Amino acid sequence: MAAARAAAVLVVAMAAAVLATTAMGATTYTVGAPAGSWDMRTNYAQWASSVTFRAGDQLVFRYSPSAHDVVEVTKAGYDACSASSPVATFNSGDDTVALAAAGTRCFSCGFPGHGAGGMKLAVKVEAAATGGSTAPSPMAPRAGTPAAMPPRAAGGRPVPPSSSASKSAGAVESLVGLGVGAIAAGLMIFY
């Protein structure tokens, strides 16, 4: 019985850790999404400028490993479009890179000519947000940019917002509530 109780407490603790991470706002970003990926067509400077990266977030690079790879490089390597002295190399076609600390991280495709052809990414990682932050969503466009302006219908009237954003937020809240309920139920069963 003691072993079952210890296992249950461990499961509940792990679930709480997952929920705490989700609540703190760690986000996974697929590089170039939604319009692109790790390829020769995506404008990475434009993509990165629309996102606020925070310590704890993750980047996912998706690509064909026969055509590309991902090489983390120094700022000097990034500026020179050189992957000759990599910090790290990834080549699975579905690579996840943790942004563990604040600072600038630089990536390039190591295939000849791809970095110089624009297949490189520099991300500025900010310190992790605190729990009580009222910071905007990591994907929120910067004020004054065309993407931050509400869409307009013919005649200049604003288009009402899609309900999918509120449905998505409601789904996240439901999942968090379900997780908290499961933790509470688990604690009541074993105590």
pLDDT > 90 fraction of the chain, expressed in percent and rounded: 52
Compute the distance between CA of residue 127 and CA of residue 146 in angstroms, rounded to an integer. 27
CA distance to 42, 114, 120, per residue, from 126 (Å): 23, 28, 20
Residue 131, pLDDT score: 59
Q: 61 forms bridges with which residues in the sheet?
A: 95
DSSP 137-161: PTTPPPTTSGGGSPPB-TTSPBPPP
Which pair of tokens denotes residue 159? 């288009």
* Residue 103 · residue 122 · CB < 8 Å: no
pLDDT tens-place string over residues 107-166: 999 999 999 999 999 999 999 876 544 444 444 444 443 333 344 334 444 434 333 333
pLDDT tens-place string over residues 19-40: 444 445 789 999 999 988 999 9
Compute the distance between CA of residue 175 and CA of residue 179 in angstroms, rounded to an integer. 6
**Residue 85 gets which letter from DSSP?**
S
Compute the distance between CA of residue 96 and CA of residue 17 in angstroms, rounded to an integer. 20
For the chain, the domains span: 1-24+178-191, 27-127
pLDDT tens-place string over residues 95-108: 999 999 999 999 99
Of the candidates 43, 21, 1, the one whose C-alpha atom is nearest the C-alpha of residue 129 is 21
Compute the distance between CA of residue 180 and CA of residue 191 in angstroms, rounded to an integer. 17
Which pair of tokens denotes residue 34? 């939604």
* Residue 121 · residue 127 · CB < 8 Å: no
> CATH homologous superfamily of domain 27-127?
Cupredoxins -  blue copper proteins (2.60.40.420)
